Every structure is written in C-alpha cells, then in structure tokens.
Structure 1
Amino acid sequence: MTKTTILAAAPLLALALSIPAHAADSYGTVAPATSTAGRVIDVTPTTRYVNVANGETVTIRLGGDTFTWTVATRSNVDAVPLARVAPEGSPATSAVVYVGQSASYHNS
C-alpha cells in the first residue's frame, strides 16, 4: 500500500468508525433475555405504532422474534422507527415507537 492510498482511505475509515455499531445504542439497549420487562408489546404486520415511556423496559414480539429493550432516548427524541431498535435479522416493520416522558422524571 502506498502513502497516497492510505491518505485517500483515511476519510472513509474515519466515517466508518463514527457510525454506531447498532442504531439501538442511540435509543437505549437491547436487554438480556433474562431481563424482566414491565409489559409485552405484540407487533403484527398491521401495527402502525406503539407507545413506550423513556426508561421503560419492554419485551417486543415481532413476528417469530422476541427482544427486550430498555428505552433510553434523549429528551428531544419522541419517535423512533421500530426497525432502528430491533435486533439485526428481525422481520421488517414500518411501525413507529412513540416515546413519552417517564413518570419518574415529572416535576411534582
């Protein structure tokens, strides 16, 4: 490899390293299978949206797949495409997850 080739590839490498390993990291984490979720949400091909609260842990049944997700979004994020948080290889869906504020963060 020549110095020119390395310099030409540097911007692409920098871009690749700046992309998160999985987009769900920006919206929370896929919880271990042993995690206890507060509720189970069934998503079918006709599901258009689901509602969750920030900080909530939910189990989502999507087709034959099931995953548990702990929602952790920034305060300015109120909607996330479900496909962005579903594990790789999950069935395709166009459902949107609407994220509401957690009751534990409301001022009294």
Structure 2
Amino acid sequence: MLNTHRSALALLCTIFASSAIAAGPTGSPADYGSSAPHDAAQRSIAMQADTRHINVTRGETVTITRAGQRFTWHVNTFNNKTVFAMAEIAPKDMAVDAILVYVASNPLYSGN
C-alpha cells in the first residue's frame, strides 16, 4: 500500500515537472507572441532604413511595415523578456537585421 502511494506521488511529481518545462521558452517565434490578422492591429509601425529599434507593449497588436512589406504581430512575451531581435518574428524575406523590439509591461496587468 505504501509503495503504491509512493509510486503515485512520483508519477505526479514527474507530470508536474514536465508541465513546468513545457510552459517555458521554446526558442521559437511563439516565445514573443503570435501572428495576427492586419485588421486586429491597434497601431502601425513604419520602419525606415535607419530604424534600429521599435517599442511595443506586452499584449499589444501591431502591424509592422518596411519597404512595401508588412506583417501583424500580437506581442505576448514572457514577463522577463523585455527585448528581442525583430528577426525572430518577421517574415524571412523581410530585411530586419539588427533591429530590436523593446517590450514594455502592460499597465493593465501591473496589479497597481
């Protein structure tokens, strides 16, 4: 009987540990949010040739344009992720090398 309880406890610990790992960063664009339809954007950011960074807010949906190309992104990063490379989320054929995305926390979720 005692071994059955220990086995069940060990199984539960394994399940919870693997769930916690799955909830962390994956190294994919999903770590930064998700693609969204253009009409869902709250604002548009037009990047110029000299753009080196953009500022967004966690939870915001933005359309990003550059040289006739565009994509829309719903920003949803982990709380500790405040900056990432635009190349992580932009279409592969969009020239965004060395452009950074700075993510501000959303005041709606600050708890104040």
Corresponding letter in the other structure for 1:62: R
The answer to whether 1:62 aligns with 2:66 is yes
> Partners of 1:26 and 1:62 in 2: how far apart?
23
Return the offset for 1:91: 2.0
Q: Which residue of 1 aligns with 2:97?
A: 93
Pairing partner for 1:29 from 29, 34, 58:
34
Amino acid at match of 1:93: D
Q: Which structure dedicates a bigger proportion of its chain to helix? A: 2
**Could you list the runs of 5+ residues in structure 1 that have no partner in the other structure?**
1-19
The percent identity for this pair of structures is 36
State the SS of the aligned residue for 1:88: coil
Say which SS state the counterpart of residue 59 (structure 1) adopts.
Answer: strand
Aligned to 1:5: none
Which structure 1 residue ranges, 4+ long, deviate > 4 Å from structure 2? none
What are structure 2's unaligned runs of at least 5 residues?
1-25
Q: Report which of the two structures shows the higher radius of gyration computed on alpha carbons.
A: 2
- The superposition leaves residues 61-81 of structure 1 with CA deviations (integer Å, 9 ceiling, x where unpaired) of 022211100001001100011
One-letter amino acid of the counterpart of residue 57, structure 2:
A
8 Å Cα contact 2:90/2:96 also seen in 1: no
Instruction: Indicate the RMSD between aligned Cα atoms, in angstroms.
Output: 1.7
TM-score normalised by structure 1 residue count: 0.73
Query: Under a length normalisation based on structure 2, what TM-score does the superposition of the two structures give?
Result: 0.70
1: CA distance between counterparts of 2:89 and 2:31?
A: 9
1:107 aligns with 2:111: yes
Shift of residue 31, structure 1, vs aligned partner: 0.8
